[in-house]
Structure 1
Amino acid sequence: MRVMVFVKATKDSEEGIKPTAEFRQMLEDMGKYNEELVKAGIMLAGDGLKPSSQGKRVAFDGPGRTVIDGPFAETRELVAGFWLWEAKDMDEAVAWVKRCPNPMPGPSEIEIRPLYEMADLEADLGV
């Protein structure tokens, strides 16, 4: 089962990189964790995202398109980074997330969402 694992944004991540000893240690710990994921055959892709102030959104309304400049409100709803994993099942994905070093200074959250596979779509759509 493929899952997308989202590191949720925090006030700190939205402020951008801070070259502190704590931040350097967090990067080192996360690098070691990513190596474990790769060696275990779990990690397919992953990366950190720049703050939403450097992003854009495109809103759709029928044929109309509106570009919205960041930063975006509700930091707790934003994503600061992601992994794409191949896990046996959701339990395995949860077990790997529990092993993750805290990805942010202070409290943080990681969300796990399964991806649709072709078999899911075929079953749901009767294809």
Structure 2
Amino acid sequence: MKYMLIFRANDEAMAGMMNVDFNEMLSTVGAYNDEMIRAGVLLAAEGLDDPAEGVVVDFSSEPPVITDGPYGETKELFGGFYILNVASKQEAVEWAKRSPMTGAGFKTEIRRVTTIDEFPQDNEWVQKERKWRESTGQL
């Protein structure tokens, strides 16, 4: 089963990360990544750019409102993610507990990634996506 570990932090935690030596952070996160690679569970891992570089498309009105970052009044920001291939939710939890991104203001949300097999296979859009996934080696 695939699970996504979503790393979130509040403003204070994000500001604290800016005080950590970049090479030290790379070493710490790199060791965590290496552990998951050696265990054969890591499928993808990405961090996200500074929220000030982001854009929000708000569909609360018509037409949608486009706002450049930084985001207004957020309690937590989504900073990056891992996608793991593990046997169970509990195994995903165990990997999340080993994360080096810890401390006050940091959270990791764990969500199962659904598969195309869970959707109605007689739907034309599911069939088109399955064909695309097969042609790109994703299935």
What interval of TM-score do these two structures reach, taking the shorter chain for normalisation? 0.7 to 0.9
Q: Give the direction of change, closer, same or farther, for the CA distance of 1:20–1:100 in structure 2 (3 Å limit).
A: closer
Q: Is 1:10 aligned to 2:10, yes or no?
A: yes
What do the CA deviations read for 1:106-126 (whole angstroms, capped 9, x no partner)? 441111111111232249x9x
**What is the distance in 2 between the residues matched to 1:105 and 1:95?**
17
Worse overlay, 47-56 or 11-20: 11-20
Q: 1:57 touches 1:70 (CA, 8 Å); kept in 2?
A: yes
Unaligned runs of 5+ in 1: none
Q: CA RMSD in A?
A: 2.8
Using the TM superposition, give the Cα deviation of residue 64 of structure 1 relative to its aligned residue in structure 2, in angstroms.
3.0
* Counterparts of residues 104-123 of structure 1 (less than 5 Å): 106-122=104-120
Identity %: 30
The structure with the largest alpha-carbon Rg is 2
Cα–Cα, structure 1 residues 98 and 119, in superposed 2: closer, same or farther, change >3 Å?
same
Structure 2: tracts of 5 or more residues without a match:
127-139
TM-score after normalising by structure 2? 0.71
In the alignment, residue 35 of structure 1 is paired with which amino acid?
Answer: D
Pairing 1:81-92 to 2, within 5 Å after superposition:
81-92=80-91
Q: Give matches, 1:1-127, under 5 Å.
A: 1-12=1-12, 14-15=14-15, 18=18, 20-21=20-21, 23-60=22-59, 64-72=63-71, 73-76=73-76, 78-101=77-100, 103=101, 106-122=104-120
Q: Distance in 2 between matches of 1:13 and 1:46?
A: 20
Q: What one-letter code is carried by the residue in structure 1 that aligns with 2:48?
A: L
